[in-house]
Structure 1
Amino acid sequence: MGLPPFVLASASPARRRLLQMVGIEPIVCPSRFDEDQIQLTDPKLLVETLAQGKAETIAPQFDNSLILGCDSVLALEGQIYGKPDHEAEAIERWQQMRGKVGELYTGHVLIDQVQNLTLVRNQITRVYFAWISDQQITAYAKTGEPLNCAGSFALEGRGGLFVEKIEGCHSNVIGLSLPLLRQMLSDLGYDATAFWQ
């Protein structure tokens, strides 16, 4: 089966870098999907619904393409955290997260317009946060990095200093589970290595 164009329904530079790292050069088309309209308390259902909303929003702009939508949240002690709205919120969240274990959920939706099929999946990774001082939390918040990330941290950035360990898929914490994507492509009949041609 020939490969359709691969479209990433996300403005996330981290997701784009992950795809490029494994040899997939996506067409980037941010969805501008209104995430605030979705109010769900189950993190698994929330990320799947948001990912599907992003992918479906941009689908009409493309023909015969593969469209990937993703969304991530951090669940910690019954609370769901997306991106913080401002520096003070990032500080408050880190004061709650430090020394604890959270679960990073990422919803993945892959629309195959060629076969008229849609796959909806999610991946969960456990994240162990270090106990860090208020001074370190404030310094990190001032970098601005936490404002762009679900859970107020970037594992692949400065936030990596404050993660003791993870259990599960590493790339999932960055915003896209590469092993899950490979499996989703396979389930649709595509070989991920074919993108290397």
Structure 2
Amino acid sequence: MGIPQFVLASASPARRRLLQIAGIDPIVQPSDFDESQITSADADLLVRTLALRKADTVATQLAKAGISTPTLILGCDSVLAIHGEIYGKPDSAAEAIARWQAMRGHIGGLYTGHTLIELLPRTQSSETPLKTLVRCQVTQVHFANISDRQIEAYVATGEPMHCAGCFALEGKGGFFVEKLEGCHSNVIGLSMPLLRQMMAEFGYNVTDFW
């Protein structure tokens, strides 16, 4: 099987970097899907649904435009669940500070939904065929018991404002995570082992991209 075109249905620089470091240079095409349309108290269901909607939106756009080569479209969404609450990106610095004061010294679950769609060129006798896989990966995050001063300094950097869970493991937030249980890259926004498995289900080998 030949190497497909790989499309990342996300504007996340962290997800793009993960793919590039692993040898896949994606075409970035954010879905601009309105996430406020989807609500759920179940973190697993929420991220699966959002990832599916993002990937499906881009797949529909590409199918309408027409493609000439097999295409894989990846959509992802991440949230942190802690103390029975589900958190995405904070809306304000005050919210980020309050959230960190609640998270410190505790364990949260970082949920990332993954949707992979295989889109094939249209033939004269059929519509554009596609196949879809939807999965969720969960990583347990042990947060350090940091001080109010450290929390305020971290939030002042602006980094937590752009991250689900209010921290970036690969950035300054890495200082404040004591331990992970589960997939490391999942916390950054994309589980590389899970993506490998999903691609294999479609008959693709990640090493073919190198």
1:111 counterpart = 2:125: no
- Quick one: which of 176, 183, 195 aligns to 2:197? 183
Aligned-partner SS, 1:50? helix
Q: Percent identity?
A: 68
1:68 counterpart = 2:74: yes
State the TM-score, normalized to the length of structure 2. Answer: 0.92
1:124 counterpart = 2:138: yes
Letter in 2 for 1:101: I
Equivalences for residues 1-197 of structure 1 within 5 A: 1-62=1-62, 63=67, 64-114=70-120, 116-196=130-210
Superimposed CA distance per residue, residues 137-172 of structure 1 (whole angstroms, 9 cap, x where no aligned partner): 000001000011000000000000000000000000
Shift of 1:116: 1.6
CA distance in 2, matches of 1:39, 1:60: 23
RMSD of aligned Cα (Å): 0.8
Larger radius of gyration: 2
Shift of 1:6: 0.2
Shift of 1:175: 0.1
Aligned-partner SS, 2:203? coil
In the other structure, the counterpart of 2:123 is none
CA distance in 2, matches of 1:119, 1:131: 38
CA distance in 2, matches of 1:85, 1:16: 24
State the TM-score, normalized to the length of structure 1. Answer: 0.98
Shift of 1:61: 2.8
Off by >4 Å, runs of 4+ in structure 1: none
